[in-house]
Structure 1
Amino acid sequence: MNGKQTTIQDIRAFNRFYTGLIGLLNDGLLDSDYSLAEVRVLYEIHTHGHISASQIMSLIYIDKGYLSRVLKQFEKDGLIAKKISKEDARVTMVSLTAKGSKLFAALNEASNQQINMLITPLAPEQQQALVHHMHAIMHLLKDGLPG
Protein backbone atom coordinates (compact mmCIF):
# COMPACT_ATOMS: atom_id res chain seq x y z
CA MET A 1 0.00 0.00 0.00
CA ASN A 2 1.41 3.42 -0.91
CA GLY A 3 1.61 6.43 1.42
CA LYS A 4 -1.64 8.04 0.29
CA GLN A 5 -3.56 4.76 0.59
CA THR A 6 -2.15 4.27 4.08
CA THR A 7 -3.23 7.82 5.00
CA ILE A 8 -6.73 7.15 3.67
CA GLN A 9 -6.99 3.89 5.61
CA ASP A 10 -5.71 5.55 8.80
CA ILE A 11 -8.27 8.36 8.50
CA ARG A 12 -11.07 5.88 7.88
CA ALA A 13 -9.95 3.82 10.89
CA PHE A 14 -10.04 6.92 13.07
CA ASN A 15 -13.53 7.78 11.77
CA ARG A 16 -14.77 4.28 12.59
CA PHE A 17 -13.19 4.47 16.04
CA TYR A 18 -14.69 7.86 16.88
CA THR A 19 -18.17 7.24 15.48
CA GLY A 20 -18.30 3.98 17.43
CA LEU A 21 -16.92 5.60 20.57
CA ILE A 22 -19.66 8.22 20.76
CA GLY A 23 -22.42 6.09 19.26
CA LEU A 24 -23.05 8.10 16.11
CA LEU A 25 -24.31 5.04 14.26
CA ASN A 26 -26.81 3.96 16.92
CA ASP A 27 -30.49 4.12 16.00
CA GLY A 28 -31.04 7.08 18.30
CA LEU A 29 -28.29 9.55 19.08
CA LEU A 30 -27.70 10.04 22.81
CA ASP A 31 -30.46 7.52 23.64
CA SER A 32 -33.03 9.69 21.86
CA ASP A 33 -35.51 8.94 19.10
CA TYR A 34 -33.48 11.08 16.69
CA SER A 35 -30.60 10.29 14.34
CA LEU A 36 -27.35 12.22 14.08
CA ALA A 37 -28.62 14.07 11.00
CA GLU A 38 -31.87 15.01 12.74
CA VAL A 39 -30.07 16.28 15.83
CA ARG A 40 -27.72 18.27 13.61
CA VAL A 41 -30.73 19.92 11.94
CA LEU A 42 -32.09 20.77 15.41
CA TYR A 43 -28.69 22.26 16.29
CA GLU A 44 -28.68 24.51 13.22
CA ILE A 45 -32.23 25.70 13.88
CA HIS A 46 -31.36 26.37 17.52
CA THR A 47 -28.12 28.18 16.65
CA HIS A 48 -29.65 30.43 13.99
CA GLY A 49 -33.03 31.05 15.61
CA HIS A 50 -34.85 31.45 12.31
CA ILE A 51 -33.41 29.65 9.31
CA SER A 52 -34.55 28.50 5.89
CA ALA A 53 -34.26 24.97 4.59
CA SER A 54 -31.82 26.10 1.89
CA GLN A 55 -29.58 27.64 4.57
CA ILE A 56 -29.62 24.36 6.52
CA MET A 57 -28.77 22.44 3.34
CA SER A 58 -25.74 24.59 2.64
CA LEU A 59 -24.53 24.46 6.25
CA ILE A 60 -24.61 20.69 6.68
CA TYR A 61 -24.67 19.41 3.09
CA ILE A 62 -27.91 17.49 3.57
CA ASP A 63 -30.10 16.20 0.75
CA LYS A 64 -33.11 18.42 0.03
CA GLY A 65 -35.62 15.54 0.05
CA TYR A 66 -34.26 14.11 3.29
CA LEU A 67 -34.28 17.54 4.95
CA SER A 68 -37.87 18.06 3.82
CA ARG A 69 -38.91 14.78 5.46
CA VAL A 70 -37.03 15.67 8.66
CA LEU A 71 -38.69 19.10 8.85
CA LYS A 72 -42.14 17.60 8.21
CA GLN A 73 -41.56 15.12 11.05
CA PHE A 74 -40.30 17.89 13.34
CA GLU A 75 -43.39 19.93 12.56
CA LYS A 76 -45.63 16.90 13.22
CA ASP A 77 -43.78 16.33 16.53
CA GLY A 78 -44.32 19.97 17.49
CA LEU A 79 -40.59 20.74 17.53
CA ILE A 80 -40.57 23.52 14.91
CA ALA A 81 -42.76 26.33 13.71
CA LYS A 82 -42.77 27.59 10.13
CA LYS A 83 -43.21 31.20 9.09
CA ILE A 84 -42.99 33.02 5.76
CA SER A 85 -39.87 35.17 5.50
CA LYS A 86 -40.42 38.93 5.84
CA GLU A 87 -37.71 39.54 3.22
CA ASP A 88 -38.90 37.00 0.63
CA ALA A 89 -42.43 35.56 0.63
CA ARG A 90 -41.17 32.55 -1.35
CA VAL A 91 -39.00 31.44 1.58
CA THR A 92 -40.25 29.64 4.67
CA MET A 93 -38.27 30.13 7.86
CA VAL A 94 -38.22 27.53 10.61
CA SER A 95 -37.60 28.00 14.31
CA LEU A 96 -37.80 25.80 17.38
CA THR A 97 -40.95 25.74 19.45
CA ALA A 98 -40.73 25.60 23.24
CA LYS A 99 -40.93 21.80 22.94
CA GLY A 100 -38.14 21.81 20.34
CA SER A 101 -35.97 24.06 22.50
CA LYS A 102 -36.50 21.78 25.48
CA LEU A 103 -35.53 18.72 23.43
CA PHE A 104 -32.47 20.48 22.04
CA ALA A 105 -31.36 21.53 25.54
CA ALA A 106 -31.69 17.96 26.80
CA LEU A 107 -29.75 16.52 23.84
CA ASN A 108 -27.09 19.21 24.14
CA GLU A 109 -26.62 18.47 27.84
CA ALA A 110 -26.46 14.72 27.15
CA SER A 111 -23.78 15.37 24.53
CA ASN A 112 -21.81 17.55 26.95
CA GLN A 113 -22.00 14.81 29.59
CA GLN A 114 -20.89 12.18 27.08
CA ILE A 115 -17.81 14.20 26.10
CA ASN A 116 -17.10 14.99 29.75
CA MET A 117 -17.06 11.25 30.51
CA LEU A 118 -14.61 10.71 27.63
CA ILE A 119 -12.15 13.39 28.68
CA THR A 120 -12.36 13.09 32.49
CA PRO A 121 -9.76 10.29 32.64
CA LEU A 122 -7.31 12.53 30.76
CA ALA A 123 -5.01 14.94 32.56
CA PRO A 124 -5.70 18.63 31.82
CA GLU A 125 -2.61 18.76 29.59
CA GLN A 126 -3.90 15.77 27.61
CA GLN A 127 -7.31 17.42 27.25
CA GLN A 128 -5.66 20.54 25.87
CA ALA A 129 -3.50 18.46 23.52
CA LEU A 130 -6.61 16.67 22.27
CA VAL A 131 -8.36 19.97 21.57
CA HIS A 132 -5.23 21.35 19.91
CA HIS A 133 -5.03 18.34 17.58
CA MET A 134 -8.74 18.58 16.78
CA HIS A 135 -8.31 22.25 15.86
CA ALA A 136 -5.35 21.29 13.68
CA ILE A 137 -7.47 18.67 11.88
CA MET A 138 -10.24 21.20 11.25
CA HIS A 139 -7.82 23.83 9.94
CA LEU A 140 -5.94 21.39 7.70
CA LEU A 141 -9.11 20.02 6.15
CA LYS A 142 -10.78 23.44 5.84
CA ASP A 143 -7.72 24.87 4.09
CA GLY A 144 -7.91 22.02 1.59
CA LEU A 145 -11.54 22.67 0.62
CA PRO A 146 -12.23 24.28 -2.76
CA GLY A 147 -13.51 27.85 -2.78
Structure 2
Amino acid sequence: MTAESPLVEEIRTSSRLMVRELGFMHHTLAATAYSPSVVHTLLEVETRGAMTAAQLVQLLGLEKSSVSRMLAKLVNLGELEVMPSAEDARTKQLSLTAQGRETVRKINQYGNERVIAALDKMDICQQHLVSQGLRCYASALKACRDNASLNAQSSIKIVSGYQPGMIGRITEMHGSYYAREHNFGCFFESKVAAGLADFSGRLDKACNQIWLAVQNGRIVGSVAIDGEDLENNEAHLRWFILDDGCRGSGMGRKLMAEAMNFCDERQFSAVQLWTFNKLTAARRLYESFGFTLTKEWQGDQWGSLMTEQQFTRSIRRVS
Protein backbone atom coordinates (compact mmCIF):
# COMPACT_ATOMS: atom_id res chain seq x y z
CA MET A 1 0.00 0.00 0.00
CA THR A 2 1.36 3.45 -0.97
CA ALA A 3 0.48 6.98 0.13
CA GLU A 4 -0.87 7.64 -3.38
CA SER A 5 -3.49 4.90 -3.07
CA PRO A 6 -7.07 6.21 -3.41
CA LEU A 7 -8.02 3.98 -0.46
CA VAL A 8 -5.53 5.80 1.80
CA GLU A 9 -6.92 9.19 0.82
CA GLU A 10 -10.52 8.02 1.26
CA ILE A 11 -9.82 6.76 4.78
CA ARG A 12 -7.94 9.93 5.75
CA THR A 13 -10.72 12.13 4.38
CA SER A 14 -13.37 10.14 6.24
CA SER A 15 -11.31 10.24 9.42
CA ARG A 16 -11.05 14.03 9.28
CA LEU A 17 -14.78 14.28 8.73
CA MET A 18 -15.46 12.01 11.72
CA VAL A 19 -13.15 14.08 13.93
CA ARG A 20 -15.07 17.24 13.02
CA GLU A 21 -18.54 15.75 13.29
CA LEU A 22 -17.84 14.04 16.63
CA GLY A 23 -16.68 17.36 18.09
CA PHE A 24 -12.98 16.66 18.62
CA MET A 25 -12.06 20.05 17.10
CA HIS A 26 -13.61 21.78 20.13
CA HIS A 27 -12.04 22.26 23.56
CA THR A 28 -14.86 20.26 25.16
CA LEU A 29 -16.62 17.06 24.17
CA ALA A 30 -19.95 15.21 24.49
CA ALA A 31 -21.91 18.20 25.84
CA THR A 32 -19.64 18.44 28.90
CA ALA A 33 -17.19 21.06 30.13
CA TYR A 34 -14.38 18.54 29.74
CA SER A 35 -11.72 17.93 27.11
CA PRO A 36 -11.76 14.79 24.92
CA SER A 37 -9.01 13.18 27.02
CA VAL A 38 -11.00 13.72 30.23
CA VAL A 39 -14.20 12.33 28.68
CA HIS A 40 -12.29 9.30 27.41
CA THR A 41 -10.74 8.75 30.85
CA LEU A 42 -14.08 8.82 32.63
CA LEU A 43 -15.57 6.36 30.13
CA GLU A 44 -12.67 3.93 30.50
CA VAL A 45 -12.79 4.00 34.30
CA GLU A 46 -16.54 3.38 34.15
CA THR A 47 -16.06 0.48 31.72
CA ARG A 48 -13.07 -1.20 33.32
CA GLY A 49 -13.68 -0.42 36.97
CA ALA A 50 -11.03 0.82 39.42
CA MET A 51 -7.75 1.56 37.64
CA THR A 52 -4.29 2.80 38.56
CA ALA A 53 -2.69 5.88 37.04
CA ALA A 54 -0.10 3.64 35.37
CA GLN A 55 -2.82 1.59 33.69
CA LEU A 56 -4.44 4.76 32.36
CA VAL A 57 -1.11 6.02 31.01
CA GLN A 58 -0.72 2.81 29.01
CA LEU A 59 -4.33 2.75 27.86
CA LEU A 60 -4.57 6.40 26.82
CA GLY A 61 -1.11 6.63 25.25
CA LEU A 62 -0.44 9.98 26.94
CA GLU A 63 2.55 11.27 28.89
CA LYS A 64 2.65 10.26 32.54
CA SER A 65 2.83 13.87 33.70
CA SER A 66 -0.22 14.84 31.61
CA VAL A 67 -2.26 11.96 32.99
CA SER A 68 -1.21 12.76 36.57
CA ARG A 69 -2.34 16.38 36.23
CA MET A 70 -5.62 15.34 34.62
CA LEU A 71 -6.39 12.77 37.34
CA ALA A 72 -5.57 15.23 40.12
CA LYS A 73 -8.00 17.70 38.53
CA LEU A 74 -10.76 15.07 38.31
CA VAL A 75 -10.24 14.11 41.96
CA ASN A 76 -10.45 17.77 43.01
CA LEU A 77 -13.62 18.23 40.93
CA GLY A 78 -15.25 15.26 42.64
CA GLU A 79 -15.46 13.03 39.56
CA LEU A 80 -12.91 10.45 40.76
CA GLU A 81 -11.82 9.16 44.14
CA VAL A 82 -8.57 7.50 45.18
CA MET A 83 -8.69 4.27 47.17
CA PRO A 84 -6.05 1.71 48.23
CA SER A 85 -6.08 -1.55 46.29
CA ALA A 86 -7.70 -4.48 48.08
CA GLU A 87 -4.71 -6.61 47.09
CA ASP A 88 -1.93 -4.14 47.96
CA ALA A 89 -2.59 -1.08 50.12
CA ARG A 90 0.48 0.60 48.63
CA THR A 91 -1.23 0.67 45.22
CA LYS A 92 -3.73 3.48 44.70
CA GLN A 93 -6.71 2.94 42.44
CA LEU A 94 -9.07 5.49 40.92
CA SER A 95 -12.79 4.94 40.64
CA LEU A 96 -15.84 7.03 39.84
CA THR A 97 -17.68 8.89 42.56
CA ALA A 98 -21.46 9.21 42.53
CA GLN A 99 -20.95 12.52 40.73
CA GLY A 100 -18.63 10.82 38.25
CA ARG A 101 -21.16 8.10 37.52
CA GLU A 102 -23.78 10.75 36.79
CA THR A 103 -21.36 12.58 34.49
CA VAL A 104 -20.67 9.34 32.61
CA ARG A 105 -24.39 8.63 32.36
CA LYS A 106 -24.88 11.96 30.62
CA ILE A 107 -21.89 11.34 28.33
CA ASN A 108 -23.25 7.92 27.36
CA GLN A 109 -26.72 9.33 26.76
CA TYR A 110 -25.28 12.00 24.48
CA GLY A 111 -23.05 9.50 22.66
CA ASN A 112 -25.81 6.94 22.20
CA GLU A 113 -28.14 9.57 20.77
CA ARG A 114 -25.49 10.63 18.23
CA VAL A 115 -24.81 7.04 17.15
CA ILE A 116 -28.49 6.16 16.87
CA ALA A 117 -29.18 9.29 14.81
CA ALA A 118 -26.38 8.39 12.41
CA LEU A 119 -27.39 4.73 12.15
CA ASP A 120 -30.94 5.77 11.30
CA LYS A 121 -29.50 7.26 8.09
CA MET A 122 -28.31 3.79 6.96
CA ASP A 123 -29.90 0.48 6.06
CA ILE A 124 -29.21 -2.62 8.16
CA CYS A 125 -26.37 -3.87 5.93
CA GLN A 126 -24.61 -0.51 6.09
CA GLN A 127 -24.98 -0.46 9.87
CA HIS A 128 -23.22 -3.81 10.28
CA LEU A 129 -20.58 -2.84 7.72
CA VAL A 130 -19.75 0.30 9.72
CA SER A 131 -19.58 -1.62 12.98
CA GLN A 132 -17.26 -4.28 11.60
CA GLY A 133 -15.10 -1.81 9.71
CA LEU A 134 -14.60 0.52 12.67
CA ARG A 135 -13.73 -2.40 14.94
CA CYS A 136 -11.12 -3.75 12.53
CA TYR A 137 -9.62 -0.32 11.81
CA ALA A 138 -9.44 0.60 15.51
CA SER A 139 -7.72 -2.72 16.29
CA ALA A 140 -5.22 -2.11 13.49
CA LEU A 141 -4.42 1.39 14.79
CA LYS A 142 -3.89 0.00 18.29
CA ALA A 143 -1.63 -2.69 16.90
CA CYS A 144 0.50 0.00 15.25
CA ARG A 145 0.80 1.83 18.57
CA ASP A 146 1.88 -1.38 20.25
CA ASN A 147 4.57 -1.79 17.56
CA ALA A 148 2.78 -4.87 16.29
CA SER A 149 1.47 -5.60 12.82
CA LEU A 150 -1.69 -7.50 12.11
CA ASN A 151 -0.08 -8.70 8.91
CA ALA A 152 3.24 -9.77 10.45
CA GLN A 153 2.07 -13.14 11.71
CA SER A 154 5.61 -14.50 11.76
CA SER A 155 6.01 -12.82 15.15
CA ILE A 156 3.15 -14.90 16.58
CA LYS A 157 3.57 -18.62 17.09
CA ILE A 158 1.07 -21.23 18.20
CA VAL A 159 2.15 -23.59 20.97
CA SER A 160 0.20 -26.41 22.58
CA GLY A 161 0.00 -27.64 26.14
CA TYR A 162 0.38 -25.94 29.48
CA GLN A 163 2.49 -22.78 29.63
CA PRO A 164 3.41 -20.97 32.87
CA GLY A 165 1.03 -18.08 33.55
CA MET A 166 -1.58 -19.20 31.04
CA ILE A 167 -4.42 -19.58 33.57
CA GLY A 168 -4.06 -15.99 34.72
CA ARG A 169 -3.48 -14.57 31.25
CA ILE A 170 -6.44 -16.33 29.60
CA THR A 171 -8.65 -15.33 32.52
CA GLU A 172 -7.44 -11.73 32.18
CA MET A 173 -8.28 -11.62 28.46
CA HIS A 174 -11.76 -13.02 29.12
CA GLY A 175 -12.44 -10.78 32.11
CA SER A 176 -11.28 -7.57 30.40
CA TYR A 177 -13.01 -8.17 27.07
CA TYR A 178 -16.38 -9.37 28.38
CA ALA A 179 -16.54 -6.69 31.10
CA ARG A 180 -15.90 -3.99 28.51
CA GLU A 181 -18.13 -5.33 25.75
CA HIS A 182 -20.92 -7.12 27.66
CA ASN A 183 -20.75 -5.93 31.28
CA PHE A 184 -19.78 -9.34 32.66
CA GLY A 185 -18.36 -9.21 36.17
CA CYS A 186 -16.68 -11.18 38.93
CA PHE A 187 -18.96 -14.21 38.58
CA PHE A 188 -17.89 -14.77 34.97
CA GLU A 189 -14.18 -14.15 35.56
CA SER A 190 -14.16 -16.48 38.57
CA LYS A 191 -15.88 -19.18 36.53
CA VAL A 192 -13.27 -18.89 33.78
CA ALA A 193 -10.40 -19.12 36.28
CA ALA A 194 -11.87 -22.11 38.13
CA GLY A 195 -12.62 -23.99 34.93
CA LEU A 196 -9.16 -23.36 33.52
CA ALA A 197 -7.48 -24.45 36.75
CA ASP A 198 -9.39 -27.73 36.72
CA PHE A 199 -8.76 -28.32 33.01
CA SER A 200 -5.03 -27.59 33.30
CA GLY A 201 -4.72 -30.42 35.75
CA ARG A 202 -6.20 -32.78 33.15
CA LEU A 203 -3.93 -31.92 30.24
CA ASP A 204 -2.04 -35.17 30.70
CA LYS A 205 -5.04 -36.95 29.16
CA ALA A 206 -4.70 -37.54 25.40
CA CYS A 207 -8.25 -36.32 24.75
CA ASN A 208 -7.55 -32.85 26.19
CA GLN A 209 -5.45 -30.11 24.60
CA ILE A 210 -4.98 -26.34 24.59
CA TRP A 211 -3.38 -24.09 21.96
CA LEU A 212 -1.90 -20.68 22.72
CA ALA A 213 -0.97 -17.85 20.38
CA VAL A 214 2.24 -16.34 21.76
CA GLN A 215 3.84 -13.06 20.67
CA ASN A 216 7.17 -11.98 22.14
CA GLY A 217 6.65 -14.34 25.06
CA ARG A 218 3.15 -13.03 25.81
CA ILE A 219 -0.02 -15.07 25.33
CA VAL A 220 -2.35 -13.23 22.93
CA GLY A 221 -4.89 -15.95 22.16
CA SER A 222 -6.15 -19.36 23.19
CA VAL A 223 -8.54 -22.20 22.44
CA ALA A 224 -8.99 -25.57 24.14
CA ILE A 225 -10.63 -28.90 23.50
CA ASP A 226 -11.94 -30.71 26.58
CA GLY A 227 -12.58 -34.32 25.67
CA GLU A 228 -13.71 -35.41 29.12
CA ASP A 229 -16.52 -33.26 30.45
CA LEU A 230 -19.17 -34.32 27.91
CA GLU A 231 -20.53 -37.79 27.32
CA ASN A 232 -20.96 -39.85 24.12
CA ASN A 233 -17.36 -39.24 23.00
CA GLU A 234 -18.13 -35.57 22.34
CA ALA A 235 -15.56 -32.78 22.56
CA HIS A 236 -16.14 -29.41 24.22
CA LEU A 237 -14.54 -26.33 22.62
CA ARG A 238 -13.62 -23.88 25.40
CA TRP A 239 -11.78 -20.60 26.16
CA PHE A 240 -11.54 -19.26 22.62
CA ILE A 241 -10.26 -15.70 23.04
CA LEU A 242 -7.94 -13.21 21.32
CA ASP A 243 -6.16 -10.15 22.65
CA ASP A 244 -7.60 -6.89 21.30
CA GLY A 245 -4.59 -6.27 19.06
CA CYS A 246 -4.98 -9.65 17.32
CA ARG A 247 -8.63 -9.44 16.34
CA GLY A 248 -9.12 -9.38 12.60
CA SER A 249 -5.61 -10.75 11.99
CA GLY A 250 -6.57 -14.31 11.06
CA MET A 251 -5.01 -15.72 14.21
CA GLY A 252 -8.41 -16.85 15.50
CA ARG A 253 -8.89 -18.95 12.37
CA LYS A 254 -5.47 -20.54 12.85
CA LEU A 255 -6.27 -21.45 16.46
CA MET A 256 -9.63 -22.91 15.43
CA ALA A 257 -7.96 -24.92 12.66
CA GLU A 258 -5.57 -26.49 15.20
CA ALA A 259 -8.46 -27.41 17.47
CA MET A 260 -10.63 -28.84 14.69
CA ASN A 261 -7.76 -30.88 13.23
CA PHE A 262 -7.20 -32.35 16.68
CA CYS A 263 -10.89 -33.26 16.97
CA ASP A 264 -10.89 -34.87 13.53
CA GLU A 265 -7.80 -36.92 14.35
CA ARG A 266 -9.22 -38.03 17.70
CA GLN A 267 -12.49 -38.92 15.92
CA PHE A 268 -14.86 -37.47 18.48
CA SER A 269 -18.48 -38.05 17.57
CA ALA A 270 -19.12 -34.27 17.66
CA VAL A 271 -17.78 -30.96 18.98
CA GLN A 272 -20.01 -28.77 21.13
CA LEU A 273 -19.61 -25.15 22.17
CA TRP A 274 -21.75 -22.83 24.27
CA THR A 275 -21.94 -19.09 23.65
CA PHE A 276 -24.53 -16.30 23.47
CA ASN A 277 -26.23 -14.43 20.65
CA LYS A 278 -24.23 -11.16 20.65
CA LEU A 279 -20.92 -12.60 19.42
CA THR A 280 -21.63 -12.15 15.72
CA ALA A 281 -18.05 -12.31 14.42
CA ALA A 282 -17.30 -15.43 16.44
CA ARG A 283 -20.46 -17.08 15.15
CA ARG A 284 -19.38 -16.52 11.55
CA LEU A 285 -16.04 -18.13 12.32
CA TYR A 286 -17.68 -21.11 14.02
CA GLU A 287 -20.04 -21.63 11.09
CA SER A 288 -17.13 -21.50 8.63
CA PHE A 289 -15.72 -24.54 10.45
CA GLY A 290 -18.97 -26.48 10.15
CA PHE A 291 -20.72 -25.57 13.41
CA THR A 292 -24.48 -25.13 13.30
CA LEU A 293 -26.84 -23.63 15.87
CA THR A 294 -28.64 -26.53 17.57
CA LYS A 295 -30.23 -24.92 20.62
CA GLU A 296 -31.14 -21.46 21.91
CA TRP A 297 -32.64 -20.45 25.25
CA GLN A 298 -32.76 -17.77 27.97
CA GLY A 299 -30.14 -18.58 30.61
CA ASP A 300 -27.78 -17.05 33.16
CA GLN A 301 -24.77 -19.37 33.28
CA TRP A 302 -22.44 -16.37 32.72
CA GLY A 303 -23.94 -14.30 35.52
CA SER A 304 -26.76 -12.40 33.79
CA LEU A 305 -29.86 -13.33 31.81
CA MET A 306 -29.25 -13.53 28.07
CA THR A 307 -29.97 -15.60 24.97
CA GLU A 308 -27.57 -18.52 25.26
CA GLN A 309 -26.72 -20.76 22.31
CA GLN A 310 -25.30 -24.20 21.66
CA PHE A 311 -23.43 -24.93 18.42
CA THR A 312 -22.55 -28.43 17.20
CA ARG A 313 -20.06 -29.69 14.64
CA SER A 314 -20.10 -33.26 13.38
CA ILE A 315 -16.66 -34.78 13.01
CA ARG A 316 -15.27 -35.61 9.61
CA ARG A 317 -14.08 -39.17 9.84
CA VAL A 318 -10.44 -39.82 9.01
CA SER A 319 -10.18 -42.85 6.73
Q: How far did residue 14 of structure 1 move?
A: 2.5
Query: How many pairs align?
Result: 145
Which range moves more in the overlay, 4-13 or 124-133? 4-13
User: Per-residue displacement from partner, 1:1-52 (whole Å, max 9, x unpaired)?
Assistant: xx61224544432221110121122121022111111111101111122110
CA shift in 2, pair 1:134/1:64, >3 Å:
same
**Structure 1 CA distance, aligned partners of 2:103 and 2:24?**
18
User: Per-residue displacement from partner, 1:49-95 (whole Å, max 9, x unpaired)?
Assistant: 21101111111212111111111111111111101223333321010
The equivalent of 1:107 in structure 2 is 107
Residue 43 of structure 2 corresponds to residue 43 of structure 1: yes
**Partner AA of 1:49 in structure 2:** G
Q: How far did residue 99 of structure 1 move?
A: 0.3
Residue 23 of structure 2 corresponds to residue 17 of structure 1: no
The equivalent of 1:76 in structure 2 is 76
Instruction: Check whether the contact 2:31–2:107 (CA below 8 A) recurs between aligned residues.
Output: no
**Structure 1 CA distance, aligned partners of 2:76 and 2:138?**
36
Q: For CA contacts below 8 A with separation 6 or more, give which structure has more relative contact order.
A: 1
- Correspondences of 1:1-147 after superposition (within 5 Å): 4-7=2-5, 8-141=8-141, 145-146=147-148
Q: How far did residue 139 of structure 1 move?
A: 4.7
SS at match of 1:26: coil
**Structure 2 CA distance, aligned partners of 1:14 and 1:39?**
23
**Structure 1 CA distance, aligned partners of 2:119 and 2:98?**
32
More helix by share: 1
Instruction: Check whether the contact 2:51–2:94 (CA below 8 A) recurs between aligned residues.
Output: yes
SS at match of 1:29: coil
More strand by share: 2
CA shift in 2, pair 1:59/1:112, >3 Å:
same
CA shift in 2, pair 1:51/1:120, >3 Å:
same
**Partner AA of 1:34 in structure 2:** Y
Ranges in structure 2 where 5+ consecutive residues have no aligned partner: 149-214, 216-319
Instruction: Check whether the contact 2:28–2:34 (CA below 8 A) recurs between aligned residues.
Output: yes
Q: How far did residue 137 of structure 1 move?
A: 2.2
Ranges in structure 1 where 5+ consecutive residues have no aligned partner: none
- The alignment-based identity, stated in percent, is 25
**Structure 2 CA distance, aligned partners of 1:122 and 1:128?**
10
**Partner AA of 1:59 in structure 2:** L
Name the Cα RMSD after superposition.
2.0
**Structure 2 CA distance, aligned partners of 1:139 and 1:48?**
18
TM-score normalised to structure 1 length: 0.86
Which has the greater radius of gyration?
2
User: Per-residue displacement from partner, 1:84-123 (whole Å, max 9, x unpaired)?
Assistant: 2233333210100000000001101100101111121111
